[in-house]
Amino acid sequence: MKKKRKVDFGAYAFLIPAAVIYLSVIVVPVFYSLFISLFKWNGVAEKEFVGLSNYINLFTNDATFMIALKNNLIWIVLTIVLLMTVSLGFAVILNKQFRGRTVFRAFFYFPCVIAPIAVAIIWRWIYNPNIGFINQFFKVLGINFKQTWISDPKVSLYAIFAAALWQGIGQPMILFLAGLQSVSPDVLEAATIDGAGPIRKFFSVTVPLMKETFVMVLATLIVAAMKVFDIVQGLTGGGPNNSTQVLATYMYSQTFQYNNVGMGTAVACVMVVMMLVVIIPYISFTAKEK
């Protein structure tokens, strides 16, 4: 006969404060937002139930939402291709032994701790068409390359991403550094003895051994790219002519500028679903690794 397992209710009691905070701050607001998205509401007057009309209008009649969705997807691609590549490159360089590498690590990580709105202000001056650093730099070189960087719909999104790239390198770089330092030197030495060159060692030995690091960095960067807001709002506010709208800025404008709370929360729910597409496989992968 199996011995009955004793339940320690005291241990569960210690979880109650955290559970209350989690439910009140995360779970309840999420479900309440989903509930609000089914209504037409300005935040003050009586709610009007419209069912899934807000979602249908977003995907069928709302051109600005489609621009925001496309820009978010472009941002995700740029993040994966450029931000991951650049941060990994810096991590590989700063993982080598040379004098002053600690200073360089701090130097490249420093922008990551600056508030995004402060970064937006800095880069707004850099992109200034009259006195900005970039245009003045080309002028000093005698090159006629004057641009209205954040006022041109064709280049404004990429100009904002350049500012975000400058700020965002630090965090994935540190994660990649930790992953590189976890690779055993004995394994790399064995690969060298077998005749593998630096490039072959990196792609055939180092990268496979950093699989968990790549998954973690990829998941966190994609989620951050989906909810990008501060840098876009600070530089352009979604303009010019909605060319730099992303889902977060469009949600903000619908909710707080146009008082279209139902539509704004519908955009928020779409963002949550998109993030779950990334988060659920990531949690599943990390759970299998344990």
191-209, pLDDT tens digit by residue?
888 888 888 888 888 888 8
What percent of the residues of the chain are helix, what percent strand, and what percent coil, each to the nearest 5? 70, 0, 25
Residue numbers of the chain with a pLDDT score lower than 70 = 1-8, 287-290
**What is the number of other CB atoms lying within 10 angstroms of the CB of residue 230?**
18
pLDDT for the residue 9 = 72
Q: Alpha carbon 95 to chain centroid distance?
A: 25
pLDDT for the residue 4 = 61
Structure tokens at 283: 């949690």
Contact 264, 33 (CB under 8 A): no
pLDDT for the residue 90 = 92
Backbone phi, psi, residue 49, to 5°: -70, 125
Residue with tokens 């937002």: 33
**What is the number of other CB atoms lying within 10 angstroms of the CB of residue 216?**
18
CATH (residue range 52-288)? 1.10.3720.10
Overall residue count recorded for the chain in this entry: 290
pLDDT for the residue 250 = 94
Side chain identity at residue 172, one-letter code: P
Q: pLDDT per residue over 129-159, tens digit each?
A: 888 888 888 888 888 888 888 888 889 999 9
pLDDT for the residue 105 = 87
pLDDT for the residue 288 = 67
Backbone phi, psi, residue 122, to 5°: -60, -50
